[in-house]
């Protein structure tokens, strides 16, 4: 009788255990679904955080670019105005440059400056526009070329640089009055790789290009 009683209790407990296992399986399945939803939400959250961070970086870059362009606007406006003035003054500036190359070669620095002043006065009378702050040296040669000339032996003073411009830019062959030999040294160094030939006669040097 006791065995039968205990077997009945065991059967009831087994049934209860089975029901509990079924509930556990259902809850585990529900937990798995919720866990999957949570993992998906966390991944979406991380993606949103990454997108937000990227947007912040883009916004910061855009803000910096806008601020930089705001500063550039003033520079571009000034440059545009300067370019317009250069276009207006181009004819007069070229006229002064060609006059310098054609006629100022034989003269010293003082007389060259006097010629420029006289030319500017005539241009004012003829209402030909030109740049009042015109620097003929900067207009006719760049700093890199001047530095190369200096390395080749040309002195760095304004007169020598102007002479170098006349030698290299003028259409006519230059005659160098060169008591110290600086011009001769410079020309020989500048043209040594271009087939330069030097002929000497009565202390006069003639340069021939092959």
pLDDT tens digit sequence for 20-70: 999 999 999 999 999 999 999 999 999 999 999 999 999 999 888 887 777
Confidence of residue 2 (pLDDT cuts 50, 70, 90): confident
**Is residue 180 a part of any domain in this protein?**
yes
Sign of CA dihedral 75, 77, 83, 89: negative
**Is residue 33 a part of any domain in this protein?**
no
pLDDT score at 209: 47
* Percent of the chain predicted with pLDDT > 70: 95
- State the Cα–Cα distance between residues 169 and 100, nearest whole angstrom: 11
- State the Cα–Cα distance between residues 176 and 154, nearest whole angstrom: 13
**Is residue 164 a part of any domain in this protein?**
yes
Is residue 150 over pLDDT 50? yes
pLDDT score at 201: 58
**Is residue 162 a part of any domain in this protein?**
yes
**Is residue 9 a part of any domain in this protein?**
no
- State the Cα–Cα distance between residues 115 and 173, nearest whole angstrom: 21
For residue 176, what is the domain's CATH number? 3.40.50.300
pLDDT tens digit sequence for 152-170: 999 988 989 999 999 888 8
| Residue span of the structural domain in which 149 resides | 141-209
**Is residue 55 a part of any domain in this protein?**
no
What is the token pair recorded at 91?
A: 């004819």
**Is residue 171 a part of any domain in this protein?**
yes
Nearest to 97 by CA among 126, 139, 160, 43: 139
Domain tally, the chain: 1
**Is residue 160 a part of any domain in this protein?**
yes
């Amino acid at each position: 009788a006791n065995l039968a009683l205990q077997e009945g209790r065991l059967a009831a407990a087994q049934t209860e255990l089975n029901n509990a296992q079924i509930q556990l399986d259902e809850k585990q399945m529900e937990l798995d679904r919720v866990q999957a939803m949570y993992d998906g939400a966390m991944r979406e959250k991380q993606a949103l955080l990454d997108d937000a961070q990227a947007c912040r970086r883009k916004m910061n870059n855009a803000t910096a670019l806008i601020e930089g362009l705001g500063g550039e606007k003033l520079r571009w406006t000034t440059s545009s105005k300067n370019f317009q003035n250069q276009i207006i003054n181009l004819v007069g500036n070229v006229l002064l440059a060609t006059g310098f190359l054609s006629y100022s070669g034989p003269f010293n620095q003082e007389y060259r400056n006097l010629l420029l002043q006289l030319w500017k006065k005539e241009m004012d009378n003829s209402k030909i526009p030109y740049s009042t702050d015109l620097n003929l040296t900067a207009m006719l040669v760049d700093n890199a070329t001047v530095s190369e000339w200096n390395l080749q032996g040309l002195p760095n003073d304004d007169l020598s640089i102007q002479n170098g411009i006349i030698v290299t830019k003028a259409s006519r062959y230059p005659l160098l009055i060169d008591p110290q030999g600086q011009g001769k040294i410079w020309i020989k160094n500048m043209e040594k790789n271009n087939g330069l030939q030097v002929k000497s006669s009565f202390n006069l040097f003639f340069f021939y290009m092959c």
